[in-house]
Amino acid sequence: MAVLVWFGIARHVHRLNAPEKAVRDSLGLIEQLDSKDAADLFTPSASGAQSASFSDLSDTGREALRAYLSGFSFSILDSHIDGETAAVDVEATGFDADALARAIRKTQLRQEYNEKFSDTSTEPPDEDDLSGEGQEDKVFTLMKNALSDGSFQKTETRETLHLTKSRGSWTVISDSALRTLLTGGLIEKLNDPDLLSPEDVLSVYLDRFKTMSPQEWATELNSPNLFQTSSQDSEQLSELFYQKAASVFKYTTDEVRAEGSVAQVSTQVTVVDMSSVLSSYRQKLIAYAKTTDSITADDSALSRKSVSLLREALEENADPKTVSVSIRLENSKSGWQIVDTSGLTNALLGDMTAATDLFHES
């Protein structure tokens, strides 16, 4: 990930004669990220690729780093010198990288789900959105927002830092141990396709339904005209249904079965009981059919009455039902993804298939 740039920390030479002091001075710079010395830590990597200095980062990047490293502190535990090399054991305290990475990834996933249905543009993406710099800034923004909105516990990380001695000066080597000490493994966690479990991914998807508007429900489920009536009546009935659906919706996860790159999640979803709604509607139709009005009414009047009775059935029915759904996910290089929502969609629509079958059989 491009965000690795901010931890492309290379050797920072100190004119010192003690490994512990070299480590102490190097890590002390982390608390002064806007200083020139701290910027020097962001120098060409071992591969020769140029990493950006702290001063080259965007405002968002600098703010995110300051927020993340504001929780950083350290203590030196021990040191060992062997000729021209040395090892210093350090314990660092910082924000819980695992919790932060999960918060960032969940927000990314939520945005991906929301954009899937809201982005109807056929124009090609802006080049800035595809650049590494653009992606890096997005991650920095998510990090800054997560640190502002959330309360993260502090965790301890212990690592052995390695140093070499040249011309009387000790140099802290920039390696995985140093990066892990500073970040708590944040970057590695963000790049881990298993960071979020199948249950985590499904929860992000389902939690959105708790706050979506009726129009968003219709778009998400690709069912804007749920009832086959006139255009205006259909919109009103659909909006009423989705309002009730959002008000009763909740879910629980019963079981997660994962085998290799495939997982099945058994979920109990609480939805509008459309079987009950249509049963009530049917009784209202039967009762209306026994009236003289039904005999004298023309087709237009019968249609209006039918819609009115269906609306009554929806408004009066307050008892939800719980439907069991099995949802399939697959794990790709980017993580777990929901690959089949057909059963879930039917459930969220009040188990409409079973309800209509029962209605026609009655």
104 and 238, same structural domain?
A: no
pLDDT of 251 above 70: yes
Percent of the chain with pLDDT over 70: 81
Residue 129 has what pLDDT?
41
Under 8 Å between Cβ of 209 and 249:
yes
pLDDT digits (tens, 9 = 90+) for 136-184: 778 889 999 999 887 899 999 999 999 999 988 999 998 889 888 888 8
Last residue of a domain, one of 190, 206, 235: 190
Last residue of a domain, one of 171, 190, 209: 190
- Residue 52 pLDDT class (50, 70, 90 cuts): very low
For 322, phi and psi rounded to 5 degrees? -110, 130
Pairing of strands 169-172, 73-82: unpaired
Greatest mean pLDDT among 39-48, 87-96, 213-222 lies in 87-96
pLDDT of 15 above 80: no
227 and 184, same structural domain?
A: no
Residue 79 bridge partners (DSSP):
88
Structure tokens at 115: 């954009």
64 and 109, same structural domain?
A: yes
pLDDT digits (tens, 9 = 90+) for 99-137: 999 999 999 999 999 887 665 444 444 434 433 456 677
User: What is the helix (H) or strand (E) element at residue 161, kind and residue range?
Assistant: strand 154-166
Name the residue with higher pLDDT: 319 or 192: 192
Residue 358 has what pLDDT?
79
User: What is the helix (H) or strand (E) element at residue 147, kind and residue range?
Assistant: helix 132-149
Q: What is the DSSP letter of 227?
A: S
What's the domain range around 251?
Answer: 198-361
Under 8 Å between Cβ of 327 and 264:
yes
Last residue of a domain, one of 190, 224, 259: 190
165 and 18, same structural domain?
A: yes
Which amino acid is present at 296?
T
- 182 SS3 class: helix
pLDDT of 258 above 60: yes
pLDDT of 208 above 50: yes
Q: What is the mean pLDDT of residues 49-70?
A: 69
pLDDT of 231 above 80: no
Residue 83 has what pLDDT?
93
Which amino acid is present at 52?
A
Q: How many domains does the chain have?
A: 2
Structure tokens at 178: 């140093």
234 and 100, same structural domain?
A: no
350 and 205, same structural domain?
A: yes
Q: What is the mean pLDDT of residues 325-332?
A: 94
Q: Output the pTM of the full model.
A: 0.77
- The CA angle 252-315-296, to the nearest 5 degrees, is 140
Q: Taking the CA of residue 172 as centre, how many other CA atoms within 13 Å lie in the half-sphere pointing to its CB?
A: 31
343 and 241, same structural domain?
A: yes
318 and 280, same structural domain?
A: yes
Long-range contacts from 335-340, C-beta under 8 angstroms, 24+ separation: 335/105, 335/193, 335/194, 335/195, 335/196, 335/201, 336/193, 336/194, 336/196, 336/197, 336/198, 336/200, 336/201, 336/263, 337/201, 338/201, 338/202, 338/205
Residue 325 has what pLDDT?
94
Under 8 Å between Cβ of 96 and 183:
no
Q: What value does the mean pLDDT of the chain take?
A: 82
269 and 203, same structural domain?
A: yes
- Give the Cα separation of 81 and 42 in Å (integer): 26
170 and 151, same structural domain?
A: yes
Listed in sequence order, the residues at least 6 apart from 77 whose beta carbon sits closer than 8 Å to its beta carbon are: 89, 90, 91, 158
DSSP code per residue over 295-341: HH--HHHHHHHHHHHHHHHHHH---EEEEEEEEEEEEETTEEEEEE-
- Residue 362 pLDDT class (50, 70, 90 cuts): low
131 and 71, same structural domain?
A: yes
299 and 246, same structural domain?
A: yes
